[in-house]
Amino acid sequence: MCLDVRGALKNWKTRDFRGMFKRDDGKTMSADEAKSILLDELSKGHNFIPYGTCDNFDHKEHGCLGHPVEKKPEGH
Q: How confident is the model at residue 1 (pLDDT cuts 50, 70, 90)?
A: confident
Residues 15-71 have pLDDT tens digits of 999 988 999 999 999 999 999 999 999 999 999 988 878 887 778 887 778 888 888
Q: Give the global pTM.
A: 0.74
Residue 60: what pLDDT?
85
Sign of CA dihedral 62, 64, 70, 74: negative
Three-state secondary structure of 35-70: HHHHHHHHHCCCCEEECCCCCCEECCCCEECCCCCC
- What whole-number distance in Å separates Cα of residue 16 and Cα of residue 47? 18
Q: Check whether 76 has a pLDDT greater than 70.
A: no
